[in-house]
């Protein structure tokens, strides 16, 4: 591999990684406040993508305008998630896996019924082409998506560390009972976090649809990706999630550059398996801010 | 078991034994009920592992390993009947492997590791083209041949696969019933209830955990090996399909975790309702019962249907 290809892979991997961070945030936030492992996370992102595609093909609007629409469209599901996850019996992690395995199947069937399993892509011309920096070519779509992801991560970081709401959310995910005893409205913090997590997933889905083909079964890879990032970074540590996202993005682009795209899924599953085996204490080890 | 249950089991068993001649050896219905019986075997194997405290989200790995193992053995010239046994051993090995590797994982994290394990094998089957045939898979897998010393009706056409899947279900039920009454069952229950306390009491959890994985993997892989001789192709997305992880979980938890017959009954019921009733009516939604069953079990019915029946009985006597 020439130095130029390597640099190209590193840069596009880092851009991809910023976007991976955005996609993993919803999973990690919900795990923080409800202790639920949401296996339907990736399917929710794909659903956001399909809604974005449907609006884009109907209206011809610029995909970036549709990101907030996708985010708003999934808000009601945020309330549903909060309602479901607060009702889970102990052990919450395991029963959430069972519940969300069912939700994931439900969403896949819904999307299959609505969009018939055809591959869809928001192929906006405004995001195509290539910008040249010396000998490196960059895709403007990927640049915009990475910039949007970084902006969201930055805003969320400020929200979580600088506001009253952020303190309530962090306290709730550290120790729900202690936070409630201290007068923090933990239900309110849980509700707003679930709403925000679903909005992030919906918006991320529209962006995802500009980069990758959508199909109803495509969510599982995104879920596995979110779990890997959460294992690597710990729950709620935004800066670590960003670093982990970029690492995974680079790893993926290098894998694809070296051995071709069909190895992508295998490497992702292997990385998840090895990370789980190596971190046998569970995700809770990283539970801090 | 109370006498009423014995009578019920006897009636269902007799109906299943007589189905091939009664249906006039109808290929489609025999295929459908064979698959339901295979799911019964896989769900009971899943339940056996759960009885030892290990919740798996990756039984597709064992099913697929059994399928590919049997397909390769069959293509290498083994008799299909023997090849299915080879597949069973391959699956048992793969299951013991993940049991050993995940020795320190519990609960949800073990479940995630098994989920990833099944995805890893799907990826390997896609990419190891020289052995697995890659994405196109293996074709030309022979059907089960008739057996000379049996009356022809038992092994003709789809009947051979049908009776073998029924035999698998009976064997795994007998094995599980035996385990429930033996010291092995006590050891499994001890590992499930409290791994640390079990090791203090002199039960080392790890060998029992690996044994439970190997047993569960063996019977699941036998089902995979038979299935591959019924559909006669082995493709990565078919043999390692997530449904072989999802369905046993749904069936066993819905039918009743740790009960002997619940998972098998739920497997037959859910699968046949989904394929015979919902598939013709609303093809896009024929998997809806599985999704709804999972959601209901997670939120309202931790003991599954068997738990509901038990509760009713308690109310009756009180």
Listed by start position, the domains of chain B span: 26-253
How confident is residue A90, by pLDDT bands cut at 50, 70 and 90? confident
Choose, out of B50, B102, B291, the residue to mutate when testing the contact with A (most A CBs < 10 Å): B291
- Given a cut of 70, whether residue B37 has pLDDT beyond it is yes
| A131 in a structural domain | no
Give A113-138 pLDDT, tens digit per residue: 888 777 888 877 776 667 776 667 77
| Per-residue pLDDT, B306 | 61
Counts for chain A of helices (H) and strands (E), in that order = 12, 2
CB contact under 8 A, B294 and A98: yes
Max intra-chain CA distance, chain A: 60
| A126 in a structural domain | no
Mark out the alpha helices in chain B (DSSP H runs): 3-22, 27-51, 59-75, 80-101, 107-127, 129-132, 152-155, 159-181, 183-193, 195-200, 205-231, 236-239, 243-255, 262-272, 279-281, 288-299, 304-317
Tell me if chain A has a CB within 8 Å of the CB of B108: yes
How confident is residue A61, by pLDDT bands cut at 50, 70 and 90? confident
- Given a cut of 50, whether residue A288 has pLDDT beyond it is no
| A217 in a structural domain | yes
Average pLDDT in the A217-232 region? Answer: 88
Q: How many residues does chain A have?
A: 289
| A133 in a structural domain | no
User: What is the 3 state secondary structure string of B14-72?
Assistant: HHHHHHHHHCCCCHHHHHHHHHHHHHHHHHHHHHHHHHCCCCCCCHHHHHHHHHHHHHH
Which tokens is A242 given?
A: 């960003």
Which of the listed ranges A8-22, B169-183, B199-213 does the model predict with the highest average pLDDT?
A: B169-183
How confident is residue A280, by pLDDT bands cut at 50, 70 and 90? low
How confident is residue A232, by pLDDT bands cut at 50, 70 and 90? confident
Domain count, chain A: 1
Tell me if chain A has a CB within 8 Å of the CB of B284: yes
C-alpha to C-alpha distance for B80 and A143, rounded to whole angstroms: 55
Average pLDDT in the A227-245 region? Answer: 83
- Given a cut of 50, whether residue B318 has pLDDT beyond it is no
| Per-residue pLDDT, B96 | 95
**Closest Cα in chain A to B108:** A94
| A3 in a structural domain | no
Give the contacts of A159 (CB within 8 A, at least 6 positions apart): A165, A166
CB contact under 8 A, B126 and A266: yes
**Closest Cα in chain A to B99:** A277
Closest approach of chain A CAs to the CA of B47, in angstroms?
15
- Given a cut of 60, whether residue B255 has pLDDT beyond it is yes
| Per-residue pLDDT, A285 | 42
Neighbours of A11 (CB within 10 A): 18
Q: Is the ipTM above a cut-off of 0.95?
A: no
| Per-residue pLDDT, A200 | 92
Average pLDDT in the B14-32 region? Answer: 83
- Given a cut of 80, whether residue B108 has pLDDT beyond it is yes
Mean pLDDT of chain B: 86
Restricting to A residues 226-255, those with a Cβ less than 8 Å away from any Cβ of B are 227
Closest approach of chain B CAs to the CA of A231, in angstroms?
11
B146-151 LR contacts (CB < 8 Å, sep 24+): B147/B81
How confident is residue A289, by pLDDT bands cut at 50, 70 and 90? very low
Tell me if chain B has a CB within 8 Å of the CB of A270: yes
| Per-residue pLDDT, A286 | 43
Element (H, E) at B234: none
Tell me if chain B has a CB within 8 Å of the CB of A183: no
- Given a cut of 50, whether residue A287 has pLDDT beyond it is no
**Cis before A91? omega within 30:** yes
Place of tokens 């009423």: B4
Average pLDDT in the B229-241 region? Answer: 91
Which tokens is A197 given?
A: 């997590």
> What b/e sequence results for A19-30 when a residue is b if at least 16 CB atoms lie within 10 Å of its CB, and e otherwise?
bbbbbbbbbbbb
Quick one: which of B52, B86, B97, B77 has its CA closest to B205? B52
| A247 in a structural domain | yes
Restricting to A residues 193-232, those with a Cβ less than 8 Å away from any Cβ of B are 220, 224, 227
- Given a cut of 80, whether residue A165 has pLDDT beyond it is yes
Closest approach of chain B CAs to the CA of A183, in angstroms?
29
C-alpha to C-alpha distance for A34 and A47, rounded to whole angstroms: 22
Between A183-192, A203-212, B91-100, B142-151, the lowest mean confidence (pLDDT) is in B142-151
Closest approach of chain A CAs to the CA of B101, in angstroms?
7
Which of the listed ranges A104-113, A236-245, B21-30, B190-199 does the model predict with the highest average pLDDT?
A: A104-113
| Per-residue pLDDT, A110 | 87
- Given a cut of 70, whether residue A231 has pLDDT beyond it is yes
B20 vs A45, higher pLDDT: A45
The upper half-sphere exposure of residue B276, i.e. CA atoms within 13 Å in the direction of its Cβ, equals 14
C-alpha to C-alpha distance for B106 and A240, rounded to whole angstroms: 25
Closest approach of chain A CAs to the CA of B123, in angstroms?
4
Look at residue B257 and give its three-state secondary structure: coil
| Per-residue pLDDT, B11 | 87
| Per-residue pLDDT, B151 | 67
Tell me if chain B has a CB within 8 Å of the CB of A144: no
Domain that holds residue A142: 10-118+138-286
How confident is residue B89, by pLDDT bands cut at 50, 70 and 90? very high
Average pLDDT in the A165-172 region? Answer: 85
Neighbours of B130 (CB within 10 A): 6
pTM for this model (two decimals): 0.89
| Per-residue pLDDT, B314 | 58
| Per-residue pLDDT, B8 | 83
C-alpha to C-alpha distance for A222 and A268, rounded to whole angstroms: 10
- Given a cut of 60, whether residue A41 has pLDDT beyond it is yes
Mean pLDDT of chain A: 84
| A56 in a structural domain | yes
| A129 in a structural domain | no
B62 vs A260, higher pLDDT: B62
| Per-residue pLDDT, A284 | 47
B46 vs A285, higher pLDDT: B46
């Amino acid at each position: 591999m020439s130095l130029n290809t390597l640099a190209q892979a590193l840069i596009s991997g880092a851009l991809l990684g910023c976007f991976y961070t955005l996609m993993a945030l919803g999973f990690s936030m919900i795990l923080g406040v409800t202790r639920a492992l949401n296996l339907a996370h990736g399917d929710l992102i794909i659903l956001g993508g399909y809604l974005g595609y449907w609006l884009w093909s109907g209206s011809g609007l610029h995909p970036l305008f549709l990101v907030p629409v996708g985010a708003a469209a999934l808000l009601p599901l945020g309330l549903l998630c909060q309602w479901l996850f607060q009702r889970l019996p102990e052990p919450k992690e395991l029963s959430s896996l069972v519940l969300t395995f069912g939700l994931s199947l439900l969403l896949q069937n819904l999307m299959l019924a609505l969009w018939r399993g055809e591959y869809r892509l928001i192929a906006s011309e405004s995001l195509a082409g290539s910008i040249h920096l010396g000998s490196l070519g960059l895709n403007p779509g990927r640049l915009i998506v990475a910039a949007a992801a970084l902006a969201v991560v930055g805003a969320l970081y400020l929200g979580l560390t600088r506001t009253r709401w952020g303190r309530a959310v962090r306290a709730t995910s550290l120790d729900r009972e202690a936070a409630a005893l201290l007068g923090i409205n933990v239900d309110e913090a849980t509700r707003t976090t679930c709403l925000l997590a679903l909005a992030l997933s919906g918006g991320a889905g529209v962006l995802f649809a500009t980069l990758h083909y959508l199909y109803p079964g495509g969510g599982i890879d995104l879920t596995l990706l979110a779990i890997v990032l959460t294992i690597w970074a710990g729950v709620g540590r935004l800066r670590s999630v960003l670093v982990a996202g970029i690492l995974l993005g680079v790893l993926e682009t290098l894998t694809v550059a070296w051995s071709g795209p069909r190895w992508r899924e295998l490497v992702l599953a292997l990385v998840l398996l090895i990370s789980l085996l190596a971190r046998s204490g569970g995700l809770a080890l990283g539970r801090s801010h | 078991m109370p006498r009423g249950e014995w009578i019920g089991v006897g009636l269902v068993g007799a109906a299943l034994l007589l189905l091939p001649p009664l249906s006039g050896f109808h290929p489609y219905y025999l295929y459908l009920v064979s698959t339901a019986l295979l799911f019964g075997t896989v769900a009971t194997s899943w339940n056996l592992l759960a009885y030892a405290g290990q919740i798996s989200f990756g039984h597709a790995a064992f099913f697929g390993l059994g399928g590919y193992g049997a397909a390769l053995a069959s293509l290498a010239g083994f008799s299909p009947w023997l090849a299915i046994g080879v597949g069973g051993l391959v699956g048992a090995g793969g299951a013991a492997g993940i049991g050993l590797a995940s020795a320190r994982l519990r609960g949800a994290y073990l479940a995630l590791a098994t989920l990833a394990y099944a995805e890893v094998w799907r990826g390997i089957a896609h990419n190891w083209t020289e052995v697995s045939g890659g994405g196109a898979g293996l074709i030309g897998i022979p059907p089960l041949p008739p057996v000379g010393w049996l009356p022809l009706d038992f092994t003709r056409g789809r009947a051979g696969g049908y009776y073998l899947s029924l035999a698998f279900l009976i064997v795994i039920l007998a094995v599980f019933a035996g385990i429930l009454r033996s010291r092995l069952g006590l050891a499994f229950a001890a590992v499930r209830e409290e791994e640390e306390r079990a090791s203090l009491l002199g039960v080392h959890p790890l060998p029992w955990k690996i044994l439970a994985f190997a047993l569960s993997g063996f019977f699941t892989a036998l089902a995979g090996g038979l299935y591959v001789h019924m559909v006669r192709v082995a493709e990565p997305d078919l043999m390692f399909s997530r449904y072989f992880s999802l369905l046993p979980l749904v069936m066993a938890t819905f039918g009743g975790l740790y009960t002997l017959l619940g998972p098998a009954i739920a497997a037959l019921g859910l699968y046949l309702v989904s394929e015979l009733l919902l598939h013709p009516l609303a093809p896009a939604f024929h998997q809806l019962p599985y999704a709804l069953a999972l959601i209901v079990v997670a939120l309202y019915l931790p003991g599954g249907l068997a738990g509901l029946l038990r509760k009713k009985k308690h109310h009756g006597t009180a």
